[in-house]
Amino acid sequence: MLRLVVDLNRCQGYAQCAFLAPDVFAMHGDEGLLYDPQAEAAQRERVAQAAAACPVQAILVEELEASDA
Amino acid sequence: MKQGILTDILDHSHRADPYPLYAELRKTPVYHDGEGPYVVSTYHEIMALLHDPRLSSDQRNRTAGAADPLAEEDTGDSATLPPGFLKLDPPEHDRLRRITNRPFGPPHSPHRIESMRGDLDETVKNLIDDIAAGTSGNGEGTERIDLVDQFSYPFPVTMICRLLGVPREDEARFHVWADTLAASLDPDPTADQAERAKVTQDARMELGMYLAGLIEDRRKNPRDDMLSHLAAATGEESMSTMELLSTAALLLIAGHETTVNLITNGMLTLLRHPDVLQRLRSEPGLAVPLVEELLRYEPPVQLLPQRTPLVDIEIRGVTVPKGAAMWLVLAAGNRDPQRFENPDRFDPDRKDIQHLGLGSGIHSCFGAPLARLEAQKALSELARRLENPRLLEDPPPYRQNAVLRGPRHLMIACDGIRP
């Protein structure tokens, strides 16, 4: 499992995460962001892409150990 | 026109390495030599201006005669079409961009780009297979590969065709028009100007007619592609046929020229940093931060030449008058030592990477999510499959264009191509 935190004060609604990991991040209207704070390990690569692509670097990802199996 | 450093930046002899000129330019954060454009080159000033509603992207707000040596470099939309949203302000910009985004991304189409991954993988695989089989290029196999013509160029055009919904059997025609329009962005001072203008105009006409026909067809027989969805929209959230045509042309040009250069600059940078290339081969995930660093270090759009203040604005003690020509030099801001540590170092592990490579604010790159995936996939696959790749010419020959900067050819050799 992955633990996600998005700093919604930084988030500017660029939606790059919602393009790159659409099963974890979703747009609510044009600017609001919804996300799954405990994403499946299978989403790891996409979440990493999303975090790297965030123009304001608002996404923090932490690996939750022992729940990967 | 005498413009000192701006003339040097536009001069083709500096194209391979404009960065020392940008460092010089940053000493005067708002540069103005009395008659040319106001040129902003420092990170924080550019970032603030990209979010400043007092700055217009619409050329019609320029004072007649505002001196700008780049004013004639058209970004590709024909005089017969209305301006695309790249060159419009709110509220028209917002309306057109919102409508275009509906079939492209979240919230309405969150899986569009995601669903292109298979096509992306297959296209990259086929292009590299063709290089391996010697069926593209000049018959010299892997001893002499032109990465631009054989890879970076055809890849994004193919993806734009798939995104818009151009049938595969028409892709070859689309490539020819795209090539002609791209060449028009890259003026060759020795060519017959009248002949070139005519060829470009003909290509625009043919492309416009083709797209108009395709839009008409998709209205009658819709499929799940962007043109069908855009053509089928009704009511307030829809475009006129002319708006749809200029939007399609904008997506084609903007989504194409820039990605070609991102991929080519990427491979050039990797070949100049063999340790990073080696890491990418064993760690494909490195492609993600690497592409962000590339967008900082060698951005495909070096400067935004079409901003104009709607009122007098003051920046770092300089008053830029209403209607004046302004350039925002993204590539200079990306190397600003006030913002980035060791800015001239290419470092894919850089944690602090809020680059200006895709712009920011309301005009931030519309196609960014697709461009990122294309570049990540292209570079990781090239790194994985080419055996011992090396540059045959460094620096490579560059296109004329100082704004959409990139190599015209990138000649490389390798010992073989892995399956």
- Average pLDDT over chain B reads 91
What letter represents residue B255's amino acid? G
Taking the Cβ of residue B91 and every Cβ of chain A, the question of whether any pair is shorter than 8 Å is answered with no
> Does any domain span residue A69?
no
Q: Could you report the per-residue pLDDT of B282-296, keeping only the tens digit for each?
A: 999 999 999 999 999
User: What's the token pair of residue A42?
Assistant: 């299978």
Q: How far is CA B306 from the centre of its chain?
A: 15
> Would you state the pLDDT for residue B80?
63
> Does any domain span residue A45?
yes
> Would you state the pLDDT for residue B333?
98
> Would you state the pLDDT for residue B75?
43
What letter represents residue B49's amino acid? L
Say whether pLDDT at B265 is over 80: yes
Angle between helix B368-385 and helix B274-282 axes, rounded to 10 deg: 90
In this complex, do A30 and B369 lie within 8 Å of one another by their Cβ atoms? no
Average confidence (pLDDT) over B242-249: 90
Average confidence (pLDDT) over B10-29: 97
State how many domains chain A has: 1
**C-beta of residue B102 within 8 angstroms of C-beta of residue B116:** no
Q: Could you report the per-residue pLDDT of B333-356, keeping only the tens digit for each?
A: 999 999 999 999 999 999 999 999
Distance from CA of A45 to the nearest CA of B (A): 8
Highest mean pLDDT among A63-67, B35-39, B319-323: B319-323
Say whether pLDDT at B67 is over 80: no
Instruction: Identify the CATH homologous superfamily for domain B5-417.
Output: Cytochrome P450 (1.10.630.10)
Which SS3 state, helix, strand or coil, does residue B317 take?
coil
Model confidence at B204, pLDDT cuts 50, 70, 90, reads: confident
Say whether pLDDT at B65 is over 80: no
Tell me which residue in B106, B354, B369 faces A26 most closely, judged by beta carbons: B106
> Would you state the pLDDT for residue B62?
92
> Does any domain span residue A22?
yes
Which residues on chain B are in Cβ contact (under 8 Å) with A52? 288-289, 292
DSSP state of B301: B
Distance CA B69, CA B299 (A): 21
> Does any domain span residue A50?
yes
> Would you state the pLDDT for residue B72?
53
Model confidence at B31, pLDDT cuts 50, 70, 90, reads: very high
> Does any domain span residue A40?
yes
**C-beta of residue B203 within 8 angstroms of C-beta of residue B177:** yes
- Which chain B residue is nearest to residue A54, measuring alpha carbons? B354
> Would you state the pLDDT for residue B3?
55
Taking the Cβ of residue B372 and every Cβ of chain A, the question of whether any pair is shorter than 8 Å is answered with yes
Distance CA B211, CA B51 (A): 34
- List, in sequence order, every residue forming a beta bridge with B166; answer none if it has no partner: none
Average confidence (pLDDT) over B18-26: 98
Say whether pLDDT at B201 is over 90: no
Tell me which residue in B106, B292, B364 faces A22 most closely, judged by beta carbons: B106
What Å distances lie between residue B66 and B29, B69, B124, B190, CA to CA? Answer: 20, 10, 44, 28
Taking the Cβ of residue B261 and every Cβ of chain A, the question of whether any pair is shorter than 8 Å is answered with no
Distance CA B309, CA A17 (A): 32
Say whether pLDDT at B76 is over 60: no
Tell me which residue in B106, B354, B372 faces A27 most closely, judged by beta carbons: B106
Least confident of B22-31, B167-176, B310-319: B167-176
**C-beta of residue B309 within 8 angstroms of C-beta of residue B326:** yes
In this complex, do B111 and A22 lie within 8 Å of one another by their Cβ atoms? yes
> Would you state the pLDDT for residue B82?
82
Whether the full predicted model's pTM is greater than 0.90, yes or no, is yes
**C-beta of residue B356 within 8 angstroms of C-beta of residue B100:** no
**C-beta of residue B355 within 8 angstroms of C-beta of residue B292:** yes
Model confidence at B79, pLDDT cuts 50, 70, 90, reads: low
In this complex, do B288 and A16 lie within 8 Å of one another by their Cβ atoms? no
What letter represents residue B348's amino acid? P
Tell me which residue in A16, A22, A57 faces B368 most closely, judged by beta carbons: A16
For residue A11, give its domain range. Answer: 2-63
**C-beta of residue B76 within 8 angstroms of C-beta of residue B185:** yes
Distance CA B319, CA B313 (A): 6
Query: Where are chain B's structural domains?
Result: 5-417
> Would you state the pLDDT for residue B78?
47
Say whether pLDDT at B379 is over 90: yes
> Would you state the pLDDT for residue A49?
92
Model confidence at A66, pLDDT cuts 50, 70, 90, reads: low
Q: List CB contacts of B234: < 8 A, sequence separation 6 or more.
A: none
**C-beta of residue B377 within 8 angstroms of C-beta of residue B266:** no
Model confidence at B77, pLDDT cuts 50, 70, 90, reads: very low
Which residues on chain A are in Cβ contact (under 8 Å) with B105? 15, 18-19
Q: What is the CATH number of the domain that holds A48?
A: 3.30.70.20
Say whether pLDDT at B1 is over 90: no
> Would you state the pLDDT for residue B95?
95
In this complex, do B107 and A27 lie within 8 Å of one another by their Cβ atoms? yes
